[in-house]
Structure 1
Amino acid sequence: MRRPLSLTLRLTLLFGVTAAIVFAVFGWIISQSTERHFAAEDTSELEIIARAAHDMLSGFRTPGDVTQLKQRLDDILVGHHNASLYVVNKDGQTVYASPGPDLSAIATAAGRETEGKVVNQWQVANHTYTALIQLVREVAPAANGPYTLVIAAPIEAHLHFLAAFRRTLWFMIASCVAIVSLLGWVAVRQSHAPLHDIVARIRRISANELNTHLPPETVPYELTELAVSFNEMLQRMDAAFHRLSDLNSDIAHELRTPITNLMTQTQVALSRARTIDEYREILYSNMEEYERMAQMVGDMLLLAQTDNHPQIKNIEEVNLADEAHALFEYYDGWAEERGIALTLEGVATVSGDRLMLRRALGNLLSNAIRHTPVGGTVRVKLDTSTAGNNSIVVENPGPEIPSEHLPKLFDRFYRIDLSRQRGGDGVGLGLAIVKSIVTAHGGKIDVASAEGCTRFQIALRKRPASMRRPRQDRAGDS
């Protein structure tokens, strides 16, 4: 894949192209304006001579006045040193020709039917002229009219000036484009200095310095959002590193206890010969520790799968009331032993993975039973709201949870009791699994604890848009 052009080169090219277009348009306008100016001056001079000659010829009565006519036409050219005049009658005979270039070819090319004025450029003897041709009809019948009047003036000096002017103009335009491009490159490089400074700061940040921030007030206004976004990213990374560090510590702590118990029991068993019943008792005790570690590993695997692959594949219609009744039967013995009642209110149906949803509801039930005092009641409430969400509420009486602990209840291995003493009540992953399952189903879970009651509430959409049913036929899954 081809690497994109650098921002500096892109902006420099943009400056150069923009300057080239603007200067080229201005240069063309200036060049055209200068040409029109010289053409207007030449035409104005020729029109002055043409008007005077026209008036003169209109008063010409008889051929005997030719000498006097030539004298008057010579007088007209006084003060117009570069102009030439040529007059021809209707028979093609030359009435007057001033010294200078032969203009008969122009008169012949114009023709006898010329009406009004024709101004054009003509080449005569390798010289360029601007010619004005006019047909004079208002003459006496005896004057052998009408006459074709040709006035010409050389414009080579103007053409040479315009050519030199164009060369200078386009050279200046090219120089200005180059200078603007160079200055644009310098300006872009200077304007990128804050970006280079940010990059230098980022390079100095290590895993131990994730609390470093880029002060938004120290960067240009256009980079403020970049600095804020970068700071937010660092905060997320810092929190993730802390969670990872805490997770490693928690896993080590949770695994150390069962492993220590296994080693101690094994050392005691090997210290002397024992009976079969004693060995069997030790093996049963070890089995409990193995089961605890297996549960921890299974829970960590489930969390890893739901975190990395949140899309739910086994989607079906799940009747939450039926799942709650099945869980009541499973926990009935434990709840009865503790003198705790289980109640269910309402009905709700959602689309999702039935086993995952049952596990999430089961974890909330076991957590509620564990923290409900003797004689209390754990209530499960199901409700379908008009907004298209299903609500699952699990609440139990008991000691209030301090507000500072509520946001952390769903963290892995988090316990309110900082002494980390275990009483055989799980490994501290139950609520983390609940949140992971709910999030994977596109839902949200909240917790509140007040007035002697702790309340977990899950909001699930009936059919989340992010969930897609597998393409293969369900019948083929068996």
Structure 2
Amino acid sequence: MLAKLIRTSLIFRLCLLVGASVLIIQLIVSTVFYYILKNDFYADANKFIINEVKVLNSLLKRHAGDLTALDQEVIWEPQSDNNKFMVRIYSQQGKILKESQDFQQYFPRKPPRELIKKLNLLQSVNLNKKYFALMNLQLNAYDKKNSQYLMQIVYNMTHEQHMLKRLATNLTIITVLEFMLTFFIIVFFIKYGLRPLQRVKEEIINIDINQLNQRLSEENLSIELRPIVNAFNRLLERIQKNIEQLKSFSANLAHELRTPINNLMMSTEVSLNKSLSVEEAKEILTSSMEEYTRIASIIERLLFLARFDAKQGRISKELLNCRAEIELVVDFHQALAEKKNIKINIEGSGNIYVDKTLFRNALTNVLTNAVKYCDAESLIKIFIQREQEGTLITIEDNGLGVPITAMSQLTEKFYRVDDHRSSTTGGSGLGLAIVESIINAHQGRLTFKEAQPQGLIVELFFPN
């Protein structure tokens, strides 16, 4: 259940993350506070021991090393279970000269060499649920031999340790309660803070396929939500544009197919209702074959575009002589160009790394349009230019040209600048869409420019 909430609920995840952050911070603060207090306790114990040693040294010095003088400061007999400090004094030979009565109960006698190893070092000792701070020191005897005693002094820290345990328990309880309280408070505030997102969701729900012109309101939105709403509005614009293009495509496709299908239906009806001679039947079949060819051409071009739009079109690049390939395409169009007395000039040379079939297909579509829409006795120029990043092929004609406002639509399927002109020249309106797909498959660039004084410039850029 918890794992499902973490996966599916943004509010729960945010609350959990913020709550966990608060918990971690509280744990860090509590731990630091605990150890600061613990260090303070041990620092106080160390300070107490040092002060006691100074007092004992002073007493011995004043009484010329008489250990009985220490009775003024040290209570050797047990007074309670919580005596704050205990003392044991050794001779240099390790003999116990004087000790608090409780000392032996917790700390057995040790040889001098072990005491000297940990001289002046504060040690923490836990014995039978009692806690002590222990230090081994040297004490001047102030006798004629100028000898020294070895002393163990113990500070009872049981009360402080119990206080630290209670503190740790209380801090843990406070931390858990704080986490739970923080979690529920954050749930409330996050729900309150996400109300604009709820409003955006309701606006999105109200948008359907027939209301794609609607846009999400950016009024009173937070700076975090505005980029999301802007992105969604741009998505709606793209969807609306694509649907409009799809509707236009469907209408254009129906229009393109309707004419040949109507012609086929009429010729078939004539054939069924009239006795035909061999010549008449042959003429009708020839006309029908032309219409079938036209339909097949449209379908083949649409399938070609569909493959490349779906990124399924395969290309096999090879290094080609660019000028030689262009000359082959020009030779194919030479007969049509000569009918209109159109000259085609090629300038430049170089190699190009492309798919041969697709490259010829792209050039054929561009050059076919140039020859079709050029006036008689016109000139078509083809330039080959090597650049650092690839090869630029420019095809320039001096025909009627294309309005600047229409250039961005030239690669749309079935788009025609002038329906009347297209009906007289033929074509399906798919040529430049195919060119764009081929250029995109090569990761190149297709550009249209206005020629001077009139005409159209088409630039095909193929990268290295």
Q: Which residue of 2 aligns with 1:449?
A: 450
**Normalization by structure 1: what TM-score?**
0.78
Q: CA deviation at 1:210?
A: 2.6
**1:231 counterpart = 2:233:** yes
Conserved? CA contact 2:57–2:139, under 8 Å: yes
Q: Paired residue for 2:141?
A: 138
Aligned equivalents of 1:45, 1:439: Cα separation in 2: 85
Number of the residue aligned with 2:374: 372
Q: Could you tell me how far apart the structure 2 residues matched to 1:152 and 1:132 are? A: 7
- When structure 1 is superposed on structure 2, of 315-324 and 363-372 the one drifting more is 315-324
CA distance in 2, matches of 1:235, 1:189: 30
Q: Where do 5+ consecutive residues of structure 1 fail to align?
A: 464-478
Secondary structure at the counterpart of residue 387 of structure 2: coil
Aligned to 2:382: 381
Work out the percentage of aligned pairs sharing the same amino acid: 23
Contact 1:106–1:150 under 8 Å retained in 2: no
Q: Call closer, same or farther: CA 1:106–1:148 in 2, change over 3 Å.
A: farther
Q: What's the CA shift for 1:251?
A: 0.8
Per-residue CA deviation, residues 328-361 of structure 1 (Å, 9 max, x unaligned), is 4333333232232333333343222323222222
In structure 2, how many angstroms separate the alpha carbons of the residues matched to 1:336 and 1:93? 130
Is residue 2:290 matched to residue 1:283?
no
Bigger mean CA deviation after superposition, 422-431 or 101-110: 101-110
Distance 2:344 2:98 in 1: 132
Q: Are 1:251 and 2:253 an aligned pair?
A: yes
Change (3 A) 1:24 1:306: closer
* Alpha-carbon offset, residue 403 of structure 1: 1.8
Match of 2:102 in 1: 102
Which secondary structure does the structure 2 equivalent of 1:414 belong to? coil
- Kept in 2: contact 1:216–1:224 (CA 8 A): yes
- 2:431 is aligned to 430
Listed as ranges, the matches of 1:392-407 within 5 Å are 392-407=393-408
- SS of the residue aligned with 2:417? coil
Kindly indicate whether the alpha-carbon contact (under 8 Å) linking 2:344 and 2:382 is maintained by their aligned counterparts in 1.
no
Other structure's SS at 1:211 match: coil
The alpha-carbon distance between structure 1 residues 314 and 59, as it changes in their structure 2 partners (threshold 3 A), is closer
Contact 2:322 2:350 in 1 (8 A): yes
Question: What does residue 26 of structure 2 align with?
Answer: 23
How far 1:249 moved relative to its partner?
0.1
**How far apart in 2 are the matches of 1:317 and 1:427?**
32
Change (3 A) 1:397 1:38: closer
RMSD over aligned Cα, in angstroms?
4.0
Task: Note the alpha carbon deviations across 1:221-268, whole angstroms, 9 max, x for none.
Answer: 233333333222222222111111101000111111222222233334
Q: Provide the residue aligned with 2:171 in structure 1.
A: 169
TM-score between both structures, scaled by the size of structure 2:
0.80
1:79-110 deviation per Cα after TM superposition (whole angstroms, max 9, x unaligned): xx95567676859686797xxx5345678736
- 1:198-240: CA deviations, max 9, x gaps? 4443333322233333345653323333333322222222211
Secondary structure of 1:426's counterpart equals coil
Q: Quick one: structure 1 residues 449 and 162, their matched pair in 2 at CA, closer, same or farther if it must change by over 3 Å?
A: closer
Instruction: Give, in whole Å, the separation in 1 of the partners of 2:242 and 2:128.
Output: 91
Q: 1:264 aligns with which of 263, 266, 275?
A: 266
Q: Secondary structure at the match of 2:315?
A: coil
Report the AA paired with residue 302 of structure 1.
F
Q: Which runs of 5+ in 2 are unaligned?
A: none
**8 A Cα contact 1:132 1:150, kept in partner:** yes
Q: SS state of the match for residue 391, structure 1?
A: strand
Aligned match for 1:240, one of 239, 242, 248? 242
Deviates more, 1:167-176 or 1:220-229: 220-229
Q: Which residue of 1 aligns with 2:365?
A: 363
Q: How does 1:10-89 map to 2 (within 5 A)?
A: 10-45=13-48, 47-60=50-63, 69=69, 72=72
Instruction: Specify the SS of the correspondent of 1:273.
Output: coil
Query: Are 1:415 and 2:416 an aligned pair?
Result: yes
358-367 or 446-455, which deviates more: 446-455
CA-to-aligned-CA distance 1:304-350 (integer Å, 9 cap, x gap): 22222365433333334333333343333332322323333333432
> Which has the higher mean CA deviation after the structures are superposed, 17-26 or 119-128?
119-128
SS in 1 for 2:274: coil
